[in-house]
Copies of this chain bind each other. A is one copy, B any other.
């Protein structure tokens, strides 16, 4: 593998823009294995398998695109409340690959279920046959290219051979780098919390980079917990917490065919006696899940294609959250705002432009705008204290905060994005070459 993990740990812990880097450790009931299936021209891990030896309850949210990838079609057909494995490949999205793309997944599922059944027979006291419909797939990469079924199939024995029921920070780092495409940095996050009196873990890894806009875009996120939580509760917790995390980031307003955020519960921490997603015992877990999702989302935005700055946009005191969100994304998706930020230009006129075009009724005379702690617009007027030199100095920071206050209500929303640089164009005009 081309990546030197120790160097990577060193470089990541030095980068404080996104806060401390967290090392992930062991989660009971899970195995993580990675390998190189030669999907790229250079040698790198491009295949990652998460295997749940005793199964895991699971829930997922998927892209809102009307043209979805074959693996998402596959996953949507899975009825089992517990699954045994998730196989993730990069380089190829398996989108618009037609019947062959879907058939490829069936071939892989057949093969993988057989190999994993053999493994169960070797390892477990009470081995269970593993069915094809206990396997989920996540794919990311170029749309429309033939799915490399054979290459992946050849690598399955290696993935199964590498099954290891103990994880450490190295294997998590391998997994987090193994799912990347044009991302520069692996994205990992973790929390520990109590459900009742029992300590449980919430671990997550993700990838993003381009095509990132609410509704999940070439975004993959996988959350793991050792808690025992039913599928229906997992599903409600995920849907609730996704709104202000993964659905609050945007890199370019583009949405992919392949987005998928999933949560898996291995159930190793048992007897939690949860009755519903509103169970009070879940309040810490709910926060932990939110924090992990938010942490990963922010890392995705901060590492958006070509990003030189991480931008938080908060719109507050709106009549509805929906209106706050509209203005957030009107700003977050505005190429003119984003290029100004890349140019370190406090061009607040473009923020005005983006607020104006969001199609939200507002009272210009009540508007307040801040960049960082610098008040620019108050009561709809340029602040007399506003000093453009001071603002220009602030724009040189790596983290930029924009605040818009409509002073019309009590609702708010925050969105996370990056600047738009020449590097974005470079990456995306050369993506396939």
A residues sitting closer than 8 Å to B (CB atoms) are 63-68, 93, 95-96, 98, 142-145, 210-211, 213, 215, 217, 252-257, 333-336, 339-340, 342-345, 347-350, 352-362, 364, 377, 380-382, 420-422, 424-426, 428-433
Contact = CB atoms under 8 A, between A and B. Distances in A.
Given A95-B349, A345-B433, A424-B335, A65 B356 contact: yes
A12 B429 CA distance: 29
Nearest to A341: B429
Contact of A380 (B66, B98, B334, B428): B98
A339 B257 contact: no
B420 A425 contact: yes
A334 B425 CA distance: 12
A353 B98 contact: no
Nearest to A93: B349
A426 B423 CA distance: 11
A347 B144 CA distance: 9
Contact of A347 (B215, B362, B420, B432): B432
Contact of A144 (B67, B96, B215, B348): B348
Nearest to A215: B357
**Which of A98, A339, A430, A431: most chain B CB closer than 10 A?**
A339
Nearest to A145: B349
Specify the main secondary structure of chain A where it touches its partner: loop
A252 B353 CA distance: 13
5 contacts: A66-B357, A96-B349, A253-B253, A339-B425, A422-B425
Contacts of A380: 98
A161 to B, nearest CB: 33
B429 A257 contact: no
Nearest to A357: B255
Contacts of A421: 425
Contact of A342 (B255, B335, B429): B429
Contact of A432 (B345, B355, B433): B345
A143 B432 contact: no
Most buried by B among A349, A359, A377: A349
A340 B93 contact: no
A26 B154 CA distance: 76
A382 B349 contact: no
Nearest to A346: B432
Contacts of A64: 357, 359
Contacts of A253: 253, 333-335
B349 A252 contact: no
